[in-house]
A and B are shown apart, each in its own frame.
Chain A
Amino acid sequence: MYRAQPGLYDEMVDAEGAVRPHWRALLDRFDALGPEALNNRFEAADRHLKESGVSFRVYSDADATERPWPLSHMPLLISAEDWKHIKSGVLQRVELIEALLADVYGPQQFIKDGLLPASAIAGSPEFLRPMVGVPPVGGRYLAFYAIDLGRSPSGDWWVIRDRAQGPSGAGYAQENRNAMSRALSDVYRGFNVERLGSFFEAYRGWMSSFRTGDDAGTCLLTPGRLNETFFEHAFLARHLGFRLVEGQDLTVRNQQVFLRTIAGLRRIGALWRRVDSDFCDPLELNQRSQLGVPGLVQAVRQGNVMVANALGSGLGEAFALMGFLPALAKKVMDQSLLLPNVATWWCGQETERRYVLDNLDRLVVAPAFVSRLPGILDHGPTVVAEMDPGARAALVEAIERRGVDFVGQEVVKLSTTPVWTKGTLEPRPFELRVFVAATADGWNVMPGGFGLIGDRIDARAVSMQQGARSCDVWVLSDSRVADPSHLAPAREVTIRRSTGALPSRAADNLFWLARYLERTEATLRIVRSMAALLVEERSDISALVDILFKWGASPQPYPTAGDAAAAQALFGTGPGAIPALIRAARNAAAAIRDRFPRDTLQALDDLNAFIVSTAQVQATTAYVLDKANTALRIIAAVAGFQNENMNRLSGWRFFQLGHRIERAINTCRTVRQFGGEASTPDTLDTLLEWCESQRTYRVRYLHGASRGPVLDLILIDESNPRSLAFSIADIVTHTLAMPRTPNEGDVSSATSMAQELLNEVRAFDVAKLGNEQLLACENGLMRLSNEISQLYFTVREPAPASVS
């Protein structure tokens, strides 16, 4: 039986246990479906999230691996009445924080008038002095802001904290909605739930208004794929049509910001940052930052780029300020706060410090400006009553000496909302993050939000990093919610074709992803050939064992036993073994997940999971053969997805270039190993099989494998898609289609090099062909790969270093 916790407000039932009216319909629907059908629906939602690759990263994990997204399957329902109040409160608050930032970085009148103590500003590491007196492009400091709300036992909503830096969660909220609306489509459609789409569309419009004529588009600046919410950055970039960039993708020249692309530098007009302000420019802000863009502050100062939120906006998050907001709202807007703060006392003031010290055991003490104070508040906000005596005494002493560094806060009791656990509903505490974004004519509140549900019933502050779950938030409307397709009539939608220049780093990663995939396939084919020979108990496997050793896939050369070498190549730890190659491919893919067919990423994950789950270094030959065959089928699926689903733009061409260069190199190597002067009919058979060309050969030639015809088929025959000449001809085609930088001639150096290689291969005389010719071709291909890097992947330059 579901019951509210004593002394806490519950969202679904009142203190007497009666279901609140706005939940009634949902519970009736769930009852009608029954537990089994419901479980199936919830599993479908989880599957959707998994297949969409929704993930986050937990820093405390030893390997900081990505975690699948934990979704609580019960939506949080917000009544129309509650929402009206929340919405007004959020709109009021964003205006207030905006006014605060504009004053502090501008005239500082609030300080002179005594509304804000100077120390409550100066103590914040987010008060960025280089930004004082720099008006924000677009006239506003905040473009995307959020607050975390909790509901007190009395039923009132309270602001727990402000998120002014670069709030996360809006993208996850959209993904939660996607999962829930699909899994519960009939239930969802039966409700008047406010849709999220127009919120993002309006924000996109605002950000796009800062673009200049021919710029590279609005960019989303991410710290990179190791960031805890990188998935969301990639998701939002794709959802909004922004470019996902890292600091090294951008450069500042003549105080303007440019994107490095394969066609040279392209101007940037607007930047949505998910990098904390202080890390945005190593030249004028935190010199240790590797995430920023040197010179960005100068570009901002000159008004040449719109940065959202403005550098230094994180100041608005300081707990120290909270206690002053009620008075500020009175002064600035002549209003009371519609959503009150958690009561907060900043200890930089004598009276407040006294109050906090006198009432310590009823309060939480938190750092006034930062997340943690080492040695005193190691874990951030702490309930004083739960501290051990030594730590408590140290805290009291620290507050007495330097009160400015601390705030006292009322202990927050969160309300509870139901979660579905093993077939029943149980109450859990939650926080609700509500988002507001700038639009051309004001602010727009996302009708919904990000629900964060704690694991333990006594949780006060919930964090995604501590094993919490998130939930979809359904804002219920009194009136019928328009179907989203009615929101944007077809005639108003501008047709957009994604073109624009490809960022160099994306091209680089696509190229290397293709190379690693192809190398994986080449290695798998060797493993499969070896296992096949061993199963048939044919004799000479020395050349196969040796090539696995040369490729770094197995640790020892012949006379290692073939089955050991094959198992090592498939499951071992060598730099050329399958697990390492898949890891490299996934790393490259993860860095560019915003411009990638989802199925490809999913297939790569499947491949990885398959290899990891079946790994047996002491495997039997039959086992290895079976696993190699399955792995090859998954690889074929990856290639298929790429071909079917990737737009034929330059990104696809770089993928093809990587694929073809790697295959051409591997073909040269394999032919040297199995088709050289010392080849035998057996090794030639292996070669044909490796090249998937056995059937063609049998059709053309009645006799068994003989060197001249085999080499002709594998090296020179351009009708064979696995031949060396075919690959190189393809490389020529792709390099010809690449954009030219202004100082290049009609034909790029890469095209000339590829064409020359093609001519050489076409002129091969298979009767006299020696290994040194193949080696020369192989080296030529590697030089070509370097040339492509030089031409297009300028970020492969050594990383910038600091000097001082």
Chain B
Amino acid sequence: MKYAVKQVTTYNYASAVPFAKHVLRLTPMGDAGQTVLANTITIDPAPRERQEDNDFFGNRVTHIAFESPHLTMTITCEAAIEKSEAVTDDLAATPTWTTVRDAVPLIADLSPRAPTHYIFASRFVPIDPTIRDYAGQSFTPDRSILEAGLDLAMRIKADFAYDPAATDVTTPTTEAFSLKRGVCQDFAHVMIAGLRGLGLPAAYVSGYLRTEPPPGKPRLAGADATHAWVSLWCGEAIGWRGLDPTNGITAGGDHLTLAFGRDYADVSPVDGVIVADGGHTLSVAVDVVPEGETLPEEPPRLS
């Protein structure tokens, strides 16, 4: 299936910002089962400096800098993505989770997707005994890893309330865990903390999820959110598999990957340092449209 994705990110500043530097991770990555057919990033106002490169994890990074005062910054990303049908695993046939755990320290590989990067604490993910014990309930002896992983994702979906008011991007994972509330970012971090606490390699994936409009209603512009989920390494033979604790499902054909890393800090779509007198407000609008449908406002301009 082919998708057209459009994300518009707008910063409004309380007073003019004379100097700013940003790092953008807004270019979707080619990944297992995903091909990026076309992609553009437009920035308004035009930055004074702009460079592109790949980060360690293979994410496409855009570095920009402004040296003249601006009151707003708008970043428009458009991409055409082809996604193949999701692999359906026989969950029970995946290796036992302890086999995977014991294999990781022996793997002589430091390349970006090597599992060893994903078993340690990272900026947003502590190794926390309480979260580990919570996750451990799904990982009974000899259970197969993907079955246990999906069980954990479903338990998080059941035990946690989706509540955007409860947390923000800086909320520590331990706090979200004790609140039992939050958004996709918090659920992914909690799940990763639990998996790593058990010694299992778990990564953070940012991206988009197509949401179906209610039957009979037109698709609303910007209603499709930026999303985040977990990728779990299931042994050499299978590799990485997506699990979505926000929805309690495996991450399948509707999950479009933007960036991959250890936690939010590695994939944060817009990082920046600005010289500013006041605060700022941020709005993000996302549209994910299957090929053949059109956006309600304007069609995506794709090169």
Contacts and interface: CB of A to CB of B under 8 A. Distances in A.
Given A117-B108, A298-B51, A800 B56 contact: no
B65 interface: yes
B275 A283 contact: no
Interface string B111-145: 00010110111010001010010000000000000
Nearest to B198: A401
Nearest to B49: A254
B275 A129 contact: no
Given A295-B65, A402-B127, A801 B110 contact: no
Contacts of A719: none
Contacts, number: 117
Contact of B123 (A122, A283, A286, A369): A286
Nearest to B280: A803
A777 to B, nearest CB: 30
B166 interface: no
A161 to B, nearest CB: 21
A801 B276 contact: yes
A390 interface: no
Q: Is the interface of A mostly helix, strand, loop or mixed?
A: loop
A548 to B, nearest CB: 35
A176 B55 CA distance: 46
Given A129-B57, A375-B129, A401-B199, A119 B105 contact: yes
Contact of B120 (A123, A797, A801): A123
Contact of A404 (B55, B65, B105, B272): B105
A798 interface: yes
Contacts of A801: 273-276
A404 B23 contact: no
Contacts of B265: 287
B119 A119 contact: yes
A804 interface: yes
Nearest to A398: B129
Contacts of B56: 129-130, 132
Contacts of B63: 295, 298
Interface string B195-227: 001110000000000000000000000000000
B49 A111 contact: no
Contacts of A797: 18, 275
Q: Which of A287, A401, A801 has the most CB of B within 10 A?
A: A801
B105 A283 contact: no
Interface string B245-289: 000000000000000000001001011111111001010000000
Interface string A279-306: 0001110110000001100100100000
B108 A114 contact: yes
Q: Which of B67, B106, B280 has the most CB of A within 10 A?
A: B106
B154 interface: no
Interface string B43-64: 0000001010101110000010
A800 B65 contact: no
A118 B169 contact: no
A118 B116 contact: yes
Interface residues of A, number: 46
Contacts of A301: 53
B272 A283 contact: yes
A255 B49 CA distance: 9
A405 interface: yes
Contact of B272 (A108, A130, A802): A802
A804 B107 contact: no
B21 interface: yes
Nearest to A286: B123
Nearest to A800: B273
A670 B104 CA distance: 76
Interface string A128-171: 01101000000000000000000000000000000000000000
Contact of A130 (B55, B117, B132): B55
Interface in B6-55: 11, 18, 21-23, 49, 51, 53, 55
A121 B110 contact: yes
Contacts of A111: 108-110
Nearest to A346: B105
A447 interface: no
Nearest to B61: A284
Nearest to A124: B120
Contacts of A253: 49, 65, 67
A804 B271 CA distance: 5
Contact of A803 (B114, B116, B274): B274
Contacts of B120: 122-123, 369, 404-405
A723 B5 CA distance: 72
A122 B129 contact: no
B276 A119 contact: no
Contact of A402 (B51, B199, B274, B275): B199
A438 B51 CA distance: 33
A283 B270 contact: no
Contacts of B67: 253
B200 to A, nearest CB: 11
B23 A349 contact: no
A287 B271 contact: yes
A255 B51 contact: yes
A800 B275 contact: yes
B120 to A, nearest CB: 5
Nearest to B57: A129
A112 interface: yes
A417 to B, nearest CB: 39
Nearest to B279: A801
Contacts of A132: 56
A348 interface: yes
A108 B110 contact: yes
A125 B265 CA distance: 14
A132 B53 CA distance: 13
A473 B145 CA distance: 58
Contacts of B11: 803
Interface string A315-339: 0000000000000000000000000
B109 A798 contact: no
B266 to A, nearest CB: 8
Contacts of B121: 125
Interface of A: 104, 108, 111-114, 117-119, 121-123, 125, 129-130, 132, 252-255, 282-284, 286-287, 294-295, 298, 301, 348-349, 369, 375, 401-405, 797-804
16 contacts: A104-B110, A122-B110, A122-B114, A123-B120, A130-B55, A132-B56, A253-B65, A287-B265, A298-B51, A349-B105, A375-B129, A401-B199, A404-B105, A798-B277, A802-B272, A803-B274
- Nearest first, the 4 closest Cβ-Cβ pairs linking A and B are A129-B56, A294-B273, A122-B116, A803-B272
Interface of B: 11, 18, 21-23, 49, 51, 53, 55-57, 63, 65, 67, 104-110, 114, 116-117, 119-121, 123, 127, 129, 132, 169, 197-199, 265, 268, 270-277, 280, 282
